[in-house]
Chain A
Amino acid sequence: MSRYLVNKLMWEVDKSDEALAKFKADAGVFLDEWEARTQHPMPPYPEGGTLTVDERRAIESRDYGSLYGMGVNPFLLWQFARSISVPEGMSSEQLVAAFREAVEPHGFPDFFT
């Protein structure tokens, strides 16, 4: 699995106000554009990337348990989850509870890069 690309996508969405607004408006459109960016790489960091079907589904559906189980970086996952969900979708407390319930069954997956 392209763990790095999932980490990179979550990182971009969390870090940029513009990317976050686009993702929250329509995750599918955002992901289409993000994946298309590989056609026009800009140094030093090639932009975008091609996700697997499972990765894209998990990101689009905010399936934090699956992403955590795949071994994405937990810190990046939490930052991403909070940015896309709070406060519009739910409160911090609600997200903490939902997130814990989602990741707990997966224990401590290997998140080596």
Chain B
Amino acid sequence: MADLIGVFGVTHNPLMWASLREKAPEDLTSVAANFDYFRSLVTELAPDVIVLVASDHFHMLMTATMPAFMIGKSPEMRAAYPNEARQFGLNPARIVGEPNLAAHLLGGRHLTSGIDFAFSDEPWLDHSFLIPLLLLTPRLDIPVIPIFTNCNAPPIPTSTRFAELGTYLDDAIRSFAGKQRVLVVGSGHLAHELGGPRQFLGTSPDPDFDRKAVSWMADGNLEEAIADTSFDRLTEAGNESYQFLNFITCLAAAEGRAATFAEGTTTRLGALPFFYWEML
């Protein structure tokens, strides 16, 4: 059977990524060090596949069609869009997929009874997928199964549904008749605002939320994480904070255990999340 060997939760902030391409500015040295640590974990864990849970930012998916949860199941996929090249210097890339495990996660001939996944045979990944991959696996040489979650266009799934997604991934990965070592990576934010009055304040829009959010992961407190992340509470933390829900999926995939490493690293871009759960 396949094995779930670890779970990560990391930032995909594109301004952070653009800054890290040069020598890390002072407020991002801890972020650069955390990515060094997470890269060393990838080397140590040696995953065969990465299941990457992230939220497309109206690149592949606009609201003409907006699934709640979608799995990309192609053998190869594009990454980065022209506006991301223009704005952040994020160049087009090709990512290798893992169609067999992706088909298994979808449920085979029938959809799984747990989650009504949509699917795509031609996924095109935006920066929410590509930036974690570039920072964790710079050679982009590990096959990826992208799971798109709707954290941008309300109505978004509840925190309970994000937890159910994580529990489902844990079970489904371990029931796959293969020998792959699978790493689950969640991509998202802590308190974050974009396009509202609290963007680019030089600090987090809600430090209290950040502290609690990191403690839920550090303590393995899935119950409180679910209870305190209603749509209204997340909006209060910032109008882009819904992507924190991807970390609830991570916590549930890690069976609600206390994270081995949990930090909201303070930067001028807000607190940037780093979570790691050891699973072996």
Binding site for B on A (CB under 8 A): 4, 7-8, 11, 14-17, 20, 44-45, 68, 73-79, 82-83, 96, 99-100, 103-104, 107-108, 111-113
Contacts and interface: CB of A to CB of B under 8 A. Distances in A.
Contact of B195 (A15, A20, A75): A75
Interface in B202-261: 235, 239-240
Nearest to B200: A96
Given A83-B87, A103-B196, 12 more contacts: A8-B63, A11-B58, A14-B83, A16-B82, A17-B82, A68-B196, A76-B58, A79-B83, A96-B199, A104-B197, A108-B235, A113-B63
A77 B66 CA distance: 18
Contacts of A16: 82-83
Given A15-B83, A112-B154, A73 B58 contact: yes
28 contacts: A4-B63, A7-B58, A8-B63, A11-B58, A11-B62, A17-B82, A44-B65, A68-B195, A73-B195, A74-B194, A74-B195, A74-B196, A75-B57, A75-B152, A75-B194, A75-B239, A76-B195, A77-B195, A78-B194, A78-B195, A78-B199, A83-B83, A83-B87, A99-B199, A100-B197, A107-B197, A108-B235, A111-B154
B154 to A, nearest CB: 5
Nearest to B231: A112
Nearest to A109: B196
Interface in B84-107: 86-87
A7 B63 contact: yes
Interface of B: 57-59, 62-66, 81-83, 86-87, 152-155, 194-197, 199-200, 235, 239-240
A73 B152 contact: yes
Nearest to A7: B63
A75 B126 CA distance: 15
Given A14-B83, A15-B83, A112-B155, A74 B58 contact: no
Contacts of A112: 154-155
A34 B187 CA distance: 35
A113 B154 contact: yes
B81 to A, nearest CB: 6
Contacts of A111: 154, 239
Pairs of residues from A and B, 6 with the lowest C-beta to C-beta distance, nearest first: A74-B195, A78-B195, A104-B197, A112-B154, A113-B153, A77-B195
Contact of A8 (B62, B83, B199): B62
Contacts of B83: 14-17, 20, 79, 83
A20 to B, nearest CB: 8
A83 to B, nearest CB: 7
A8 B65 CA distance: 12
Contacts of A108: 196, 235, 239
A44 B120 CA distance: 15
Given A74-B196, A74-B239, A15 B154 contact: no
A14 B85 CA distance: 12
